[in-house]
Structure 1
Amino acid sequence: MLQSAPSPQVWTGKPIVLVGLMGVGKSTVGRRLATRLGVPFVDADHEIETAAGMTVGEIFEKFGEPYFRDGERRVIARLIDGSPRVVATGGGAFINDETRALILGQAIAIWLDAPIHVLADRVRRRDTRPLLRDKDPFVVLKDLAAVRNPIYAQAPIHIPSDQAPHESAVAAILRALEL
């Protein structure tokens, strides 16, 4: 007998913001979580690209990371306006003090976390990430994790996301939200 997908619930709370290193599944988990909660899903990087008329990589290359982070903060502030939704952020968004304060003050921050070897395997499949250009993903991610994980740990909800299907991370988030 086929199991049907769980029916969506309707989330009426604060925006839910997913944070964590690149490759952890923020966008994929975010889309599925939004569907389960019956709310819109928004990818902050996509919104930044739309607003700028160029890719994240092009913004980094043309204007540098500080310029990108400032635009990212403004876009995230617009996305967490109090409306129920799920927002996937770029890996560095939560590291910015102002952006992190916005997220922690106006949303529910959820840290998706996975072992470095899993993340490195996932990000090797795409070459769209500016911080990985011409570098070993394992080394870059290990260095980023050393700096960023203590900051991601400020998110009130921590969800391990290993090699299990993304649906297991969604289920863990729903449990953490007590749904």
Structure 2
Amino acid sequence: MTENIFEKIAQTYDTPERKHLAQIITKKIEPEFYGKVLDYGGGTGLVSLPLAEQADELLLVDPAEQMLAVAQHKINQQQLTNVRVLQADFTKETPELTVDTIVLSLVLLHIPDTKKILTELFDLLPKGGKLLIVDFIENSKVYHPKVHNGFAESELSSLLKTIGFSQVSIQPFYRGEKIFMNQDAELFLATCYK
């Protein structure tokens, strides 16, 4: 999928199915959600906005302007003063900033060069900072020319350690019906410390 697709579907993105899955993810990452948090590919804020009050500051970053417009509307409605949005694509250019926690929820599968984006995110973290990745475990039934079919835990762990993360823990936590390209799939949470 390209960001153009997300621009087009922004107004109808928050379906009941996506909201349900986001609630499951939000509950899973909640204990790790604190400090200055960056939600990369945060879209309409489905995953991180419910936890905004736990963070000192929350920065929602997404390449799609329309997705962020939906998120900004929610921020305004909820009068969240510690949240801001930034339209950016870190695969092209990464601004200089430092954050304590980075959330990457169902985003990695859309990025062709996973090593490049993970390296860019690694560089934004101080020593002891953490990256939380939620994505699908590799699924051979899924095929799309622009989307990874999930990730093998051992390969992802190896890549993260090669980039420089000192501690990587990958834990499957939810199995759902037809949640990944209309296929049954399993989600994992990778907790990665710099």
Structure with the bigger percentage of strand? 2
Fold shared, TM-score > 0.5 on shorter chain: no
Query: What TM-score, normalized by structure 1, do the two folds share?
Result: 0.38
Relative CO higher for 1 or 2, CA cutoff 8 Å, sep ≥ 6?
1
Query: What TM-score, normalized by structure 2, do the two folds share?
Result: 0.36
Structure with the bigger percentage of helix? 1
